[in-house]
Chain A
């Protein structure tokens, strides 16, 4: 099993550009999450999904969109990139909500200039 796979690993965007961060997992997990990690901070939840076709906002959803058309994939979309979105983005998945630790991808480092 590859676990949670994120692409790309790095990306530089200009202000106002758009992009999609890809995330796929091969563990048949129901729950998937997108977090951002800023220097010296813990991870903050952007969006999450409890299953295909269902998504919901986390703590910091503004400026982002997600979709969950399949169990495996959970892409994160930035429509109008802003410097405040410079961060490292982590996708994670878990089988259940409770008592089921998250498995993380290796992250996407995004810089918006």
Chain B
């Protein structure tokens, strides 16, 4: 199956620092999504990107859909303790995907914030 390479796997940062994570793929996608998962809960959508080159912000979060449609990044500015969690990228609608679900997930970036 398709794979998304998400990096870094984990990040230990100080409160107030900026965070950057990214996903790359060998396949192109029509949509890139970024989810956050907190302990004991399901993933929650943060940002959805629908066009190559699109740059979208949601508060302190900014994400971009790469021009090649094979990558995306997520930035978090001025991190705060509640940003702790696991962040997943997901690509949707790949031409090489099968079935109704063109959703492929990265393995996640575990964000840990030290006060």
Contact = CB atoms under 8 A, between A and B. Distances in A.
A58 B99 contact: yes
B115 interface: no
Contacts of B4: 42
Contact of A42 (B48, B93, B108): B108
A90 B101 CA distance: 15
Contact of A97 (B6, B88, B102): B102
Given A43-B88, A99-B31, A99-B50, A107 B41 contact: yes
Contact of A50 (B31, B100, B107): B100
B41 A106 contact: yes
Interface residues on B, range: 20 to 34
B99 A48 contact: yes
Contact of A90 (B43, B90, B92): B43
Contacts of A4: 42
Interface in B57-115: 88, 90, 92-93, 99-108
Interface of B: 1, 4, 6, 9, 30-31, 33, 35, 40-45, 48, 50, 88, 90, 92-93, 99-108
27 contacts: A4-B42, A33-B101, A40-B9, A41-B108, A42-B6, A42-B90, A42-B104, A42-B105, A42-B106, A42-B107, A43-B43, A45-B101, A45-B103, A57-B99, A58-B99, A58-B101, A90-B42, A98-B93, A98-B102, A99-B31, A99-B93, A101-B33, A102-B43, A102-B45, A104-B42, A107-B40, A107-B42
The 7 closest A-B pairs by CB, nearest first: A104-B42, A42-B105, A43-B105, A101-B45, A42-B107, A97-B100, A50-B100
